[in-house]
Structure 1
Amino acid sequence: MRAIAYSIRSSEKEPLALANVRRHLITLITNPLTLATADFAEGKEAVIVSSCDELTGEVVDRLVDLGVRYILIKGSKAYSTASPILSRTDKPLQVIDLSFLFHQNNLKEDLIDEQVALHIVYSLNRWEEGKCEEISYPAAYSHTSNEIRRSA
């Protein structure tokens, strides 16, 4: 699967490369996702963003127009995947918020980047295999929807 990861910190690069094991073509950039940088996602099926990136209606519309079908949100700030911003599109879009990883009491702080990387690659694997419905995370922390549609 072709993906792009925005707002990548240097501490995230190695864990993501190790978790990926060259299965997916993931472009890593330090730029945040904005309307101006959304075009970097052209030709990608998945976008990985930070919870601090700009997920406005315009940005989501642009990503969908570029062919993006999947969005993974990483970061400590929870993002409502049921947001009206993410429901603007009339095309199938699946969104997963991985912020629950940052709030696990039993996870050591130095392992967060590794856990996020593993969950990112796991999600990309499931999407690539066409098993979107089978991606499961703790229900209290994650929401996935096969199709989020634009309201008329």
Structure 2
Amino acid sequence: MVRFPDGVEVRGRGLGRPRPAGPEPDFGLYLGTSRLRRKHGGGITWPHEWVTWPDFLLPANPRDAREKIKALHERAKTETVEVACYGGAGRTGTVLACLAILSGVPAGEAVDWVRENYDERAVETPWQRGWVKSYAKRLD
């Protein structure tokens, strides 16, 4: 579980890894293509949404992704939530960095914050790091 500066908690994980111990989340946001949904989405029995987001790349619909990330942050204030991609580092870390921004971490520090508080490999590519910075500029 990642606890953000504003008190919000979000579980980050990889769908390709064993499910972590503990209760099922109330809601999940999952990041991947239709292939990941077919292969690993069947075990998700709680309410959830998907963002089409190819591995190592950026979301297919950035606006939709921004809206769903913001909504996840709001849900996390009152519900147990998780975010996951296949490996749990690149795409998941990118979303966690965006959530860090929403919780008050400066955009220029969000990636480092997530690497310190979640996974040192989080936000794997230069374009994912750039997307985190652009996320902050496009907040409505």
**What is the TM-score with the length of structure 1 in the denominator?**
0.32
Greater relative contact order (Cα < 8 A, sep 6+): 2
| Larger Rg, first or second structure (1 or 2) | 1
**What is the TM-score with the length of structure 2 in the denominator?**
0.34
